[in-house]
Structure 1
Amino acid sequence: MRKSLVALSVLAATALPAAVNAADYSDDIHKNDYSWSQFNLMYAFDELPGESSHDYLEMEFGGRSGIFDLYGYVDVFNLTEDKDSDKAGSNKLFMKFAPRVSLDGLTGKDLSFGPVQELYLATLFNWGGGPNDDVNNYFVGLGSDVEVPWLGKIGLNLYGLYEMKDKKWNGYQISTNWFKPFHFFDNGSFLSYQGYIDYQFGADEKDIPGVGELKTTSGGAMFNGLYWHSERYAVGYGMKLYNDVYTLKDGGVAGKTSGVGHYISVTYKF
């Protein structure tokens, strides 16, 4: 729920060189394979919905193996079991799992055109760690890697959303993510602008009789991060802009769902 990918992550800096020619399957489909993983110690300020401020540990991973592209993470909340934490008494875990399958690799054809470097069958799974009323959403659609000015290669995916609890399709999500190193230091470390956008639309409105509005037809979030990276460490700040996030109506039953949240993180890369 915190990061999205749209099925691709904000790639770790060490993964970027390996991913540049990922669409070339002419001789060996595994020649561009790579993997990465890292631990992020995070603190969120005024995260929406709920204006929650809390600590959490994020175990983040990704990579490439032949025609398969993967991004994911597991969040563990309230590490010290602080009774005064905004996450006290809440579910302990959240997981995002976003595999994509290259259609170029699957068909053996070069499907690139214009700025589009590669096409994918894109999927995304959001799983909460609580009881049956927790998050359990599946997304499937068309994914791509697209070359854009200045930012370079971004992930861009369009999904249909299947709500597993309700056993129904409910709207769409468009997602993009980017990782742009923009200033390099003499010691090899660098600054990057990295982030993502997740925007849902075409969803069903939902009211709770006698209580008020719960869901609206569209909503999303944009994360803008400034990070310092070295080979093994990263430190960063992110600003997240919310607008009816998760299509929860701002000022309705879910409370405040539009506004600004802030994140700080310290990372160790494996």
Structure 2
Amino acid sequence: MKKTLLALSLVAASGSVLAADYTDGEIHKNDYKWMQANLMYVSDELPGESSHDYLEMEFGGRSGIFDLYGYVDIFNLLSSSDSDKADANSKIFIKFAPRISLDAVTGKDLSFGAVQELYIASEIDWDGATVSETNPYAVNQQKIGLGSDVMVPWLGKIGLNLYANYDSTQKDWNGYQISTNWFKPFLNFDNGSFISYQGYIDYQFGMKDKYSTASSGGVMFNGIYWHSDRFAAGYGLKAFSDVYGIKDSDAFKSTGFSHYVSVTYKF
């Protein structure tokens, strides 16, 4: 398997990378970068039960002390008037999640037990929407906290981050988020392609009553994907529970399941 594909495999869900021993001062020896385009369709995405197509430009890599993952989603790519996103307040979603390796900054091996590397972790989520009578929520948040790469049975190395959450819409701190992600190839073929189980969990808690109708909530994504050196395709089942602190109701559904299908080209 090529080194670039292995690196992409480790970060495809959220940016985890192979930890390095930086005690020799060579912080750039594991540098790499990647980018891919995902053409996607989701059925009954929550909150709000929206079904639509979208294009996702996904990227990441490592450069010295910096570990990076991010993506930009563009909804209703064909500008269809029949799409659930045709009249949406926002037709874009951005996630930008840089981490700074404390091992690389200090030049010390900070690993212990199952923890392979430590980071200052951050995350920016932005849809640019404005809360109004017709649009009940917006996702404009910045998070800061402690990150890590952790070895766990069977899955191998996962990313595990704990953040404090600042809500730009409310101009106030509002709760915390714990996030984890994984990428596990479990079936390999003779031509070098493989099938993986990949996904993530984002769970928010401790949210304030004055900003949220539920004090906790989150998502879990479970995907089965076929990968080659240049292409990927797969299906994902995403479970939602009071996502974004929105209490599930008949008027605005925020708990349930959504289905994702995607095809990918790797640059």
Under a length normalisation based on structure 1, what TM-score does the superposition of the two structures give? 0.89
Aligned mates of 2:205, 2:19 — CA distance in 1: 33
Q: Does 1:93 align with 2:92?
A: yes
Q: Counterpart amino acid of 1:143? A: G
Counterparts in 2 of 1:231 and 1:14: CA distance versus 1, 3 Å: farther
RMSD across aligned C-alpha pairs, in angstroms? Answer: 1.9
* Sequence identity percentage: 65
Counterpart mapping for 1:65-84 below 5 A: 65-84=63-82
- Runs in 1 of length 4+ with deviation above 6 angstroms? none
1:198 aligns with 202
Check the 8 A contact 2:22/2:107 in 1, yes or no.
no
Residues 238 and 189 of structure 1: is their aligned pair in 2 closer, same or farther, counting only changes over 3 Å?
same
Q: Does 1:267 align with 2:264?
A: yes
State the 1:107 CA deviation.
1.4
Give 3-state SS (helix, strand or coil) of 2:215's partner. Answer: coil
Structure 1's 176 and 14: CA in aligned 2 closer, same or farther, altered over 3 A? Answer: closer
In structure 1, how many angstroms separate the alpha carbons of the residues matched to 2:184 and 2:250?
37
Report if aligned partners of 1:93, 1:130 keep a CA contact under 8 Å in 2.
Answer: no
Letter in 1 for 2:110: L
Query: 2:135: which partner in 1?
Result: none
Equivalence map 1:106-255=2 (5 Å): 106-131=105-130, 134-206=138-210, 215-251=213-249, 255=252
SS at match of 1:19: coil
Q: How far did residue 132 of structure 1 move?
A: 7.6
- One-letter code aligned to 1:98: A
Distance in 1 between the 2:103 and 2:261 partners? 38
Contact 1:206 1:216 in 2 (8 A): no
Please give the per-residue CA displacement for 1:86-138, whole angstroms capped at 9, x wherever unaligned: 00121221100000001111112111100000000000001114458743210
8 Å contact 2:103–2:117 — kept in the other structure?
Answer: yes
Q: Distance in 2 between matches of 1:60 and 1:205?
A: 34
Judging changes above 3 Å, is the alpha-carbon distance between structure 1 residues 48 and 187 closer, same or farther for their aligned structure 2 residues?
same
Deviations 1:140-194 (A, max 9, x none): 0000000011101000000000112222111100000000001100111000000
Shift in CA distance, 145/40, structure 1 to aligned 2, threshold 3 Å: same
Alpha-carbon separation, structure 2, partners of 1:54 and 1:30: 41
| Alpha-carbon distance change, 23 to 178 in structure 1, aligned in 2, over 3 angstroms | farther
CA–CA distance in structure 2, aligned partners of residues 23 and 145 of structure 1: 14
Distance in 1 between the 2:162 and 2:19 partners? 23
* Structure 1 letter corresponding to 2:77: L
C-alpha displacement of 1:22: 3.0
Contact kept? 1:23, 1:117, Cα under 8 Å: no
> 2:22–2:108: 8 Å Cα contact kept in structure 1?
no
Amino acid at match of 2:202: D
Give unpaired runs (5+ residues) of structure 1.
1-10, 208-213
Q: How has the CA–CA distance of structure 1 residues 99 and 14 changed in structure 2, closer, same or farther, with 3 Å as cutoff?
A: closer
C-alpha separation in 2, matches of 1:205 and 1:130 = 21
